[in-house]
Amino acid sequence: MEESAFMLSPYVVCKHAKRPDDIECSLIVLPYPNLKASDWDQLVEEGIRLPDWPPDGWSALFGCSECGFVSEYFFLDVDWRLVPRLAPGVFHSGADCFCIEFQCGQKSCKAPTKLHVQRSELTENAVLDLLRRPFFIGSLPCGHDVPSLPFNQYQIHKVMDPIE
């Protein structure tokens, strides 16, 4: 690929403990304004630091779109690398990251949750299909399992800016 086919982006790695015969999950690329590969070269040559993002104390809950494992990621889990660009001139938030907002399904809890899912060419309908199976495994920050709820209890929106 030519240089313009890559961009500098923050990412996290799926935290699911896998067996040796399991396939590796792809990187979970985080929404962030597009930085071209040439920016990386300039950062290295001039000794400029990588963008100061995310801030200390940042965290976000992600569900891996490949294995379904749900985990909370913190600012120290985020790293930067060159990733393939989806299309020339596209703000990287076009990487198809969705936020699903819902309340814990436990009657005694109802803690509000924001679960993020990212995969190239992901659609809102595909996210609903993953929730319908249920595909996601793991615990929410409140300690309860990811619930399977009626679809009218999920609010889904595309993430277009860095996750706060």
Give the tens place of pLDDT for each residue, 23-70: 788 889 898 876 666 666 666 666 656 778 899 999 999 999 999 999
Provide mean pLDDT across the span 125-139.
Answer: 87
Give the tens place of pLDDT for each residue, 5-25: 677 788 999 998 777 777 788
Distance CA 149, CA 154 (A): 8
Burial of 10 (0-12, 13-18, 19+ CB in 10 A): buried
pTM greater than the 0.75 cutoff: yes
- Kindly report the number of other CB atoms within 10 A of residue 61's CB atom: 21
